[in-house]
């Protein structure tokens, strides 16, 4: 759980100050690199934050309202 929070926080930090297009380019590898690496069996955690970021941006662009 803590690793998912850390990777999501790093995703947020990497996205801060970027345009939407630039933020959409953030990759799981970018997050792993920014965290100085992850154990091989924990790499999937980096997907959570990046996936959530991309979904949020795409929802915003497409005018999705819940």
The domains located in the chain, with CATH, are 2-61 (3.90.1010.10)
Mean pLDDT of 31-37: 92
Higher-pLDDT residue of 44 and 26 is 26
**Rounded distance between C-alpha atoms, residue 1 and residue 9, angstroms:** 12
Q: What is the pLDDT of residue 65?
A: 63
SS3 of 61, please? helix
Q: What is the pLDDT of residue 23?
A: 97
This prediction's pTM: 0.85
Mean pLDDT of 40-49: 82
- In this prediction, residue 66 has a pLDDT band, given cuts at 50, 70 and 90, of low
**Rounded distance between C-alpha atoms, residue 26 and residue 45, angstroms:** 15
- In this prediction, residue 43 has a pLDDT band, given cuts at 50, 70 and 90, of confident
What phi and psi values does residue 64 have, to the nearest 5 degrees?
-65, 130
**Rounded distance between C-alpha atoms, residue 7 and residue 35, angstroms:** 8
């Amino acid at each position: 759980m803590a690793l998912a929070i850390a990777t999501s926080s790093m995703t947020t930090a990497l996205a801060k100050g970027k345009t939407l297009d630039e933020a959409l380019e953030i990759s799981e590898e970018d997050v792993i690199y920014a965290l100085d690496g992850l154990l091989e069996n924990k790499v999937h955690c980096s997907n959570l934050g990046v996936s959530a970021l991309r979904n949020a941006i795409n929802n915003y662009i497409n005018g999705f309202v819940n």
